[in-house]
Amino acid sequence: MSGPSRRAAEVVTVVLGTMLLLVGCKEVEEVAAPVHEPAIVEDVAGADTKQVTFDEAGAEQVSLRTATVRKTGRGTVVPYAALIYDSQGLAWVYTNPEPLTFQRAQVVVDRVVDNQVWIKDGPPPGTRVVTVGAAEVYGAELDIAGGH
């Protein structure tokens, strides 16, 4: 290559190199991936508690399981695993009125024997209550679930 052609090629190379550097230095805007919200929390009219509705993936993630409140000859029984206590020492269970939907219900404990809780007051026999995952439902209700 002779003088002017070589000089033109050098200028084009410098211009292209500068353009590439500028493009490379251009601020890149990061797009955050959508965060999966495994549960929706809604107010319940006339109640101090909220309703928590999980999607199927969220329910599977926390392995939610339920059992039925039973009536025996000695009274009404819930599994011990269903029982949770709040910071004031009140006893609660999470009822399951609809698929993947849960609402906290206060219970008055009469006695605990082995893995059974006899209750003086609480959900009626036949009500489904959470036995696995109650702490996670509680955390979702109070928005202390840890960013699931």
Q: What share of the chain is helix, strand, coil (3-state, %, to 5)?
A: 25, 40, 35
Q: What is the pTM of this model?
A: 0.73
Supply the pLDDT for residue 55. 93
Identify which of 143, 136, 146 has the alpha carbon closest to the alpha carbon of residue 63.
136
Supply the pLDDT for residue 9. 56
Range 39-141 classified under CATH 2.40.420.20: yes
Supply the pLDDT for residue 112. 95
Supply the pLDDT for residue 148. 43
Which sequence spans correspond to the domains of the chain?
Answer: 39-141
The torsion angles phi and psi of 47, rounded to 5 degrees, stand at -125, 150
Judged by DSSP in three states, 114 sits in coil
Measured CA to CA, the distance from residue 52 to residue 40 in angstroms comes to 6
Supply the pLDDT for residue 30. 73
Measured CA to CA, the distance from residue 138 to residue 128 in angstroms comes to 16
Identify which of 91, 94, 110 has the alpha carbon closest to the alpha carbon of residue 102.
94
Give, for all 148 residues of the chain, the pLDDT tens digit: 566 666 655 655 555 555 555 555 556 577 777 777 888 999 989 888 999 999 999 999 989 999 999 999 989 999 999 999 999 999 999 999 999 999 999 999 999 999 999 999 999 999 999 999 999 999 999 987 554 4
